[in-house]
């Protein structure tokens, strides 16, 4: 302690303790916040190259920062800004070397790959050591409200375990690229795996065997690597000693000893621990903790995916629409509930359209549901709705609203889950499920059994097979509810066993539930026991070749209707102008008549959609 005080005193005058940053300041530096201020200051000082470097450095760690993205684009358009000014001032040597090494490896340039991967491994291990040294800081009390103060031995143990846990997490810090949420799995072992293959390709079996032996310290039962070791021993001769690298031996042994101490504290002192390594041997974990350890690992992985999902999301494209439940609140991944997508009057208009579905629907026509004999099922596609409007069976504005409501849902889901990546409609279905009177007593089945939308669910095998007849091209699903005046009919999500319910969604007008279509989201619908439940069922795909063709046809018919309406209105206006020419008043320009029919939505992609559907003002 005295040695440290003298050292710090020489480097940081006057009192070393005055220089300890708060956790908030440390977080700001981890997020590179100072560079956000620096780029503004440099810009004001007209030091453009330094401003660009500061902006780029901040943006690398904060790729979702919209204002900085705009600033970067402005800098790119400015004359006098050098291209090499767009550099990361906080770039870590191991990441630069690692990415270059992997690129050479993928290009079969093994000699260059070996050099860069060796550099990356050396720098990564050095970064781990530096991080570990910084763990020996002050005690940070995680439970400040604790009334009982620990005694001497408890305090020493608690602080030491905190240091050990911090040291264990260092590999995650080193393996996490700036701007990313999750670390690269098995960062250190993966270097050795790549190196053994690359050295073998360049004919250096001695070092290849050394790398393989080092890898086996992490995964001693890995069969492919054990086979490679046999091959190397045969090629080098049985008498040739093959040993793991000394620095890797030290790394593994030290880590295992720390884990042993930490797990003892977890078992006997009430500590908690999220193990950062996939290679931790099972025998190191106490028996009573193994199941909890597996659950924690799965939960940690899911939370990381969820955070990454949130980080990737863009802003919602409509004001007033609100996220009321996200994946975390729904105990899953890639699930969300939006409210206020439709108004009450829009729900009523669409419910009026559902009456036509019962009378002239698209094949079901109020027959018994395909999923249960206790309900009637009515369905209407967008094309059928437009055709009914052509025949005068429904109002044009109601058919148009169906197209617009589903398009609004698509834009919301696209912006939330897949910003920058086009989602196409796969299928759109206005559906109602009605409880059959006299058929509900003793009912045990569901309105729609548990399933996944793009794979065949196998609950016993805990698998979901992505093969026909499943709609394997579907990527996201949505349900836009129109009413809540019925009993039952709620959506629920389950585990892969189809039995363990993880979340429920209660329908109401304007509520949109959206989720990814894969095995991560098995779902079903509770029985509708009284009344009539109506909703727009929506499925989306990133695959353009699987886009909904009926929708394209429906949009063309709707556009044709609008053109005819414009032509009819134009003729009426011409007749009015002609009849008023004898009047003493000058003709008034008719620019205010039906502006919506002249309007084109900005940013419409005419290459993808020759016929552009105009947006309704209410939406």
The CATH number of the domain holding residue 330 is 2.60.120.620
pLDDT beyond 80 at 164 = yes
The encoded tokens of residue 353 equal 């359209």
375 and 281 in one domain? no
476 and 394 in one domain? yes
Q: How confident is the model at residue 238 (pLDDT cuts 50, 70, 90)?
A: confident
270 and 170 in one domain? yes
Q: How confident is the model at residue 378 (pLDDT cuts 50, 70, 90)?
A: confident
Boundary-marking domain end, from 554, 585, 610: 554
The encoded tokens of residue 466 equal 């992505």
Judge whether 312 lies within some domain: no
336 and 223 in one domain? no
390 and 253 in one domain? no
Task: Share the mean pLDDT of the chain.
Answer: 83
341 and 277 in one domain? no
Judge whether 18 lies within some domain: no
542 and 414 in one domain? yes
The label of the residue with tokens 């939006």 reads: 338
Q: How confident is the model at residue 594 (pLDDT cuts 50, 70, 90)?
A: very low
Judge whether 579 lies within some domain: no
415 and 283 in one domain? no
H-helix or E-strand containing 50? helix 48-61
Q: What is the pLDDT of residue 172?
A: 93
Q: What is the arithmetic mean of pLDDT over 353-366?
A: 58
Grouping H, G, I as helix, E, B as strand and the rest as coil, residue 435 is strand
238 and 167 in one domain? yes
Lowest mean pLDDT among 189-198, 398-407, 418-427: 418-427
The encoded tokens of residue 8 equal 């710090």
Active site residue 32: no
Domain that holds residue 178: 94-140+152-289
Catalytic pick from 410, 533, 561, 616? 533
334 and 255 in one domain? no
Whole-angstrom CA distances from 74 to 48, 49, 241, 284 are 12, 13, 60, 55
The label of the residue with tokens 């008719």 reads: 590
Judge whether 242 lies within some domain: yes
Q: Is the peptide bond before 14 cis (omega within 30 degrees of 0)?
A: yes
Judge whether 112 lies within some domain: yes
356 and 220 in one domain? no
347 and 278 in one domain? no
Total structural domains within the chain: 2
Judge whether 31 lies within some domain: no
Boundary-marking domain end, from 517, 538, 554: 554
Judge whether 490 lies within some domain: yes
DSSP classification of residue 592:
T
- Separation between Cα atoms, residue 353 and residue 336, nearest integer Å: 27
Judge whether 309 lies within some domain: no
Boundary-marking domain end, from 245, 267, 289: 289
Is the pTM above the cut of 0.85? no
Burial of 134 (0-12, 13-18, 19+ CB in 10 A): exposed
């Amino acid at each position: 302690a005295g040695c440290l005080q003298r050292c710090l005193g020489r480097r940081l005058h006057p009192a070393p303790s005055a220089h300890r940053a708060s956790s908030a300041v440390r977080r700001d530096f981890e997020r590179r916040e100072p560079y956000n201020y620096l780029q503004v200051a440099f810009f004001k000082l007209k030091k453009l190259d330094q401003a660009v470097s500061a902006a780029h450095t901040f943006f690398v760690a904060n790729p979702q920062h919209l204002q900085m993205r705009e600033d970067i684009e402005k800098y790119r358009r400015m004359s006098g800004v050098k291209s090499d000014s767009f550099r990361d001032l906080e770039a870590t040597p191991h990441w630069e070397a690692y990415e270059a090494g992997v690129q050479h490896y993928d290009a079969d340039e093994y000699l260059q790959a070996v050099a860069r991967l060796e550099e990356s491994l050396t720098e990564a291990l050095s970064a781990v050591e530096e991080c570990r040294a910084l763990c020996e800081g002050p005690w940070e009390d995680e439970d400040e409200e604790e009334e009982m103060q620990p005694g001497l031995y408890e305090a020493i143990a608690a602080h030491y375990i905190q240091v050990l846990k911090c040291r264990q997490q260092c590999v995650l810090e080193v393996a996490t690229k700036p701007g990313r949420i999750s670390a690269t799995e098995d960062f250190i072992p993966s270097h050795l795996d790549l190196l053994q293959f690359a050295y073998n390709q360049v004919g250096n079996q001695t070092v290849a065997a050394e790398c393989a032996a080092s890898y086996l310290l992490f995964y001693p039962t890995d069969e492919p690597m054990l086979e490679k070791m046999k091959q190397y021993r045969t090629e080098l001769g049985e008498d040739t000693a093959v040993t793991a690298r000394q620095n890797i031996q030290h790394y593994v042994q030290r880590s295992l000893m720390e884990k042993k101490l930490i797990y003892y504290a977890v078992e006997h002192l009430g500590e908690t621990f999220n193990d950062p390594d996939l290679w931790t041997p099972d025998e190191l974990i106490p028996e009573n903790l193994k199941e909890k350890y597996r659950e924690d690992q799965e939960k940690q992985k899911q939370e990381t995916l969820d955070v990454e999902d949130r980080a990737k999301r863009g802003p919602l494209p409509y004001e007033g629409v609100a996220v009321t439940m996200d994946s975390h609140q729904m105990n899953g991944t890639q699930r969300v509930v939006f409210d206020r997508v439709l108004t009450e009057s829009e729900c009523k208009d669409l419910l009026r359209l559902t009456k036509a579905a019962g009378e002239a629907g698209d094949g079901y026509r109020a027959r018994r549901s395909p999923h249960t004999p206790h309900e009637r099922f009515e369905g209407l596609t967008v094309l059928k709705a437009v055709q009914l409007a052509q025949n005068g069976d429904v109002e044009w504005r109601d058919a148009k609203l169906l197209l617009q409501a589903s398009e609004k849902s698509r834009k919301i889901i696209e912006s939330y889950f897949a910003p920058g990546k086009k989602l196409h409609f796969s299928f759109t279905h206005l559906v109602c499920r009605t409880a059959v009177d006299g058929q509900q007593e003793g009912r045990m089945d569901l309105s729609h059994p548990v399933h996944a939308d793009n794979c065949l669910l196998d609950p016993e095998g805990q698998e979901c097979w992505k093969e026909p007849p499943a709609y394997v091209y579907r990527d996201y699903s949505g349900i836009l509810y129109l009413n809540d005046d019925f009993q039952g009919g709620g959506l629920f999500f389950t585990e892969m066993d189809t039995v363990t319910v993880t979340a429920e969604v209660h329908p109401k007008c304007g509520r949109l539930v959206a989720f990814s279509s894969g095995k991560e989201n098995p779902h079903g619908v509770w029985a509708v026991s009284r009344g009539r439940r109506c909703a727009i069922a929506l499925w989306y795909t990133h695959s353009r070749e699987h886009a909904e063709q009926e929708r394209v046809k429906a949009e063309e018919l709707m556009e044709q209707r609008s053109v005819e309406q414009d032509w009819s209105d134009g003729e009426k206006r011409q007749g009015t102008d002609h009849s008023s020419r004898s009047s003493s008043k000058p003709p008034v320009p008719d620019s205010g008549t039906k502006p919506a029919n002249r309007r084109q939505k900005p940013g419409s992609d005419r290459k993808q959609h020759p016929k552009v559907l105009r947006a309704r003002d209410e939406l």
